[in-house]
Structures are given as structure tokens and as C-alpha cells.
Amino acid sequence: MKHLDTLGPEEKIMIKLTIPTIDNTYADLIKHPNVIRVVALSGGYSRQKANELLARNKGMIASFSRALTEGLSKQQTDAEFNKILDDSIQCIFDASVAPRDDTFERQLERAKNADGFLAALDQSGGSTPKALKLYGISENEYIMNEKSMFDAIHDMRTRMMKSPHFNGDRVLGAILFEDTMDREVDGIPTCEYLWEVKHVLPFLKVDKGLSDMENGVQLMKPMPDLVPLLRRAKAKGVFGTKMRSVILDANEKGIADIVAQQFEVGKQIVAEGLIPILEPEVDINISNKAEAENILKGLILKHLDVLGPNEKIMIKLTIPTEDNLYADLIKHSNVIRVVALSGGYSRAKANELLARNKGMIASFSRALTEGLSKQQTDEEFNKTLNESIQCIFDASILPRDKDKDV
């Protein structure tokens, strides 16, 4: 694994290994983005024993020598020889065709076509205190940026995820902070819980915050450990990622820099087998918001048009001043979804604006948790969350344009 993690995205290999003593020991190797196949040698086992062991190791296929030729003889007639060889090939084939893990393909189909919205549960260290305060937890109940703070926000997120109303019927995906990805819900790793129990797509926030403003924008800070993080996330069952930068002025150079950075990092994420959500947010309070959005749209389209056919992305944008401004992005063959951030609007206002933009779906954070409180009974909490989920879902389910090739 250490050597695999240092390979470049184009350096692909296969590995031939002895069938392991502990079943599925090599599962992480099989899933690794640099590994095409892990194949098994028979290692002196009889064909029957080698097949029995191989069939218990999902994703490994046979690369047998003596076990393949077992029973063949020069003295056999052609009919006898061919029958024994056919039997040998068939049983080795059967042991090699344990169903391939098609989780990503099923998740991708859901991301493209299912109704719902993204729950943004990715408050970082900087935004967590505000989220906790709104939830009814004061700063004297935890220590800033220490375990007690992250425990508190995880408890809040867990309460939401465990609610009977938080599931794939209306919540398409959930964006997680790295600490949340590394924790558990009801003793189950968070990403596994979201997908296997709730049928909700897990996304991970991967940016490390914003740089100082220059040319009217804030670019993302460098991410030197991005690739190891992506590979760890992939192994944990993450489907996609999200990364945010901010536009504070209709400055063409600044916006061009933001779009270039988002797509550059996005292509690295695609190469690791994940779906990136690019988030060049336009601040809702700037005086030239509409102008900035038009510049942004044109630059995004230019970058989209040079992507390869298999480089699929999602885009998270501020709800535009001009209704349906992003229709061309929504229809683009490289775009799975365009999702909307609430951007500081109240939930009612964000839903009103979103509902006027055909094909955009919500990716709300504060607007989703509005009205939730630690002090509520479970009945009160679940009722409030259900109402929030329903109204955001309603604003997100205008018929999506199906006339695009995705």
C-alpha cells in the first residue's frame, strides 16, 4: 500500500499473490485506483482447494498453472483432453467471477437521476462554533478546536443522520467534514452508515480553507496531502468531494484564477475515481453579483468544453440573480448535477429562489439545520427536521432536463 500511494494516476499495475489465509485480506489493494487486477496463484494447492479458497476472496481472479493443467495427459484422445480442459476452465472461471463491486456505478446512476438534495454537514473548525450556537450549545460547553468541540458537532450530525426522516427518499447525498468521515454512527463507519443504512451518497470536504483576498477573490489554500486523503476517502466509501473558493467582486482575472484552480484540482480528484463538486461561491452581498455570475458561467463553460468524455463533475453555485442563468451548465454532458448553496439566505428565501431555477438542487447547510436545537425532544427534533427536509426537497424537484447525454 505504501508504494501504491506514491504512484501517479497514470501508473497502473496488476499484482499476483498467494491466496491469503484470512479471506479478503487484499480488499484494499483490489479497490486501489492504481491497481487494475489482483490475481491469485494456486501455490501448490489442488485445483479443487485453490478454487474453494479463491471463491472466498471477492475481486481476486485466478492465474493458475498446475491447477489449470491438472488431469491433462498426452495419452488422452482429443475428445477426452478437451472435456477435461473444459471442465478445468469452467470451474476456475466460476471461482473467479464473484460479483464485481458495482457500488460506484449504482451511486453514479443515483447521483445523475434520483430526486433529492445534498445535506451539507461539513462545518469545519472555523464554522463549527456558529453552528453549535445555533443548535443551542454555548462556547463554554467545549474547548475551541479540540476533541470536545468535534464531539459536540458529531453528536448533532449523528442525531440528524439517525432521524427516521433523514434517508435517500429525499436526501440524495451528505457532505462530510474529514473528522466526521473518520467517526462512526451507531458503531458503523459514517460513510458506510450513510450508504448502506440510509442510501445517501457520502461526499467529503477536501479543501483546507481560503487564502487572503487577491483580485477580488479568495482562492483555496494549497492541499499538499490531497492525494493520500482522496485514497483514504475512497477506501472508506466516499463517492465524491467538495471544495470551496469565494468570489467577492466581478473581477475577470480573479474569477479566471478561481475557475482554473477548481478545475485543476477537480481533474486530480476524477483521476482518483471520485466525483468532485467544484464550488466557486459568489458572495450574495456584493453589489455586482449578477456581473460576477455571468463572468463565472462563461469561464466554467470554457473549462467544461475541454474535459474528456469520462471526466464528470458536479458544480455548487450561489443561486443566481438571473433565473436559470446556469441552464447551459446543467445541460452540459460533463456535468452530473448543479447544486445550490444557501449563501446566507434564510431557508424560506433560499427555497423561493431555488424553485425558480430549473434543474438546480439544494446543497444547504445552515438553512437545513435552521430551527434544530439540542434542547428539543426527539419528537420535536424529528418534526422540525422533517419539515426542513420536505420544503428543501420540494424546491429541488422541478423536473430535470433529461435531454442531455450523461
Give the angle subtended at the CA of 35 by the CAs of 34 and 41, to the nearest 5°: 160
To 10 degrees, the CA torsion angle through 135, 141, 146, 149?
Answer: -20
Of 31, 198, 279, 312, the catalytic one is 279
Q: What is the DSSP letter of 4?
A: G
Q: What is the DSSP letter of 201?
A: E
**Closest C-alpha among 328, 251, 259, 262 to residue 291:** 251
CA 179 vs CA 54, 90, 187, 223, 257: distances in Å: 36, 47, 15, 17, 29
CA 34 vs CA 92, 250, 271, 382: distances in Å: 26, 41, 10, 43
Of 205, 297, 312, 316, the catalytic one is 316
Q: Helix or strand or coil: residue 297?
A: helix
Give the integer Cα–Cα distance in Å for 215 and 194: 40
Give the integer Cα–Cα distance in Å for 184 and 328: 39
Q: Helix or strand or coil: residue 276?
A: strand
C-alpha neighbours within 13 Å on the C-beta side of residue 91: 17
**Closest C-alpha among 333, 297, 287, 286 to residue 313:** 333
Q: Helix or strand or coil: residue 171?
A: strand
Give the integer Cα–Cα distance in Å for 181 and 170: 21
279 is catalytic: yes
Give the integer Cα–Cα distance in Å for 117 and 397: 9
- Which three cell numbers mark 188? 458503523
Q: Cell 470554457 appears where?
A: 302
Segment (H or E) for 286: none
Give the integer Cα–Cα distance in Å for 35 and 15: 8
80 is catalytic: no
State residue 184 phi and psi, 5-degree precision. -125, 160
Q: Which residues are catalytic?
A: 279, 316
